[in-house]
Amino acid sequence: MATTADPTEHTLNLSGTRLHYETSGSGPLLLLVGAPMGSRGFATIAPLLAEHFTVVTYDPRGILRSTVEDPDAEVTLDLLTDDVHHLLAALGSDPAYVFGNSGGASIGLALLTRYPEQVRALVAHEAPLVELLPDSGELRAALEDVCDTYADEGRNEGLKKYAAVTGVDRFSRPPGGGRHGVTDLESFTPPADVRAILDRFFLHILRPTALYRPDLSALRAASARIVVAGGIASKGQLSHRSATALAGELGTALVDFPGDHTGFQGEPEPFVRLLRQVLTGTA
Nearest to 208 by CA among 64, 51, 62, 39: 62
The predicted structure's pLDDT at residue 189: 60
Domain ranges, ordered by start, for the chain: 8-132+213-280
The predicted structure's pLDDT at residue 191: 78
How does residue 16 score in pLDDT terms, banded at 50, 70 and 90?
Answer: very high
| CATH pick for 8-132+213-280 out of 3.20.20.70, 3.30.420.40, 2.60.40.420, 3.40.50.1820 | 3.40.50.1820
Bridging pattern class, strands 225-231 and 255-257: parallel
Sign of CA pseudo-dihedral 57, 194, 35, 258: positive
262 burial level (CB within 10 Å; 0-12, 13-18, 19+): buried
Nearest to 66 by CA among 111, 12, 105: 12
Q: Could you give the residue ranges of the DSSP H alpha helices within the chain?
A: 46-49, 77-91, 103-114, 136-153, 155-166, 191-200, 206-210, 216-221, 238-250, 263-266, 268-280
92 burial level (CB within 10 Å; 0-12, 13-18, 19+): exposed
Residue 108 pLDDT greater than 70, yes or no: yes
Q: What is the pLDDT of residues 20-33, one digit of tens each?
A: 999 999 999 999 99
The predicted structure's pLDDT at residue 185: 44
How does residue 169 score in pLDDT terms, banded at 50, 70 and 90?
Answer: confident
As a whole number, the mean pLDDT across the chain is: 91
The predicted structure's pLDDT at residue 171: 55
Q: How large is the average pLDDT for residues 15-21?
A: 97
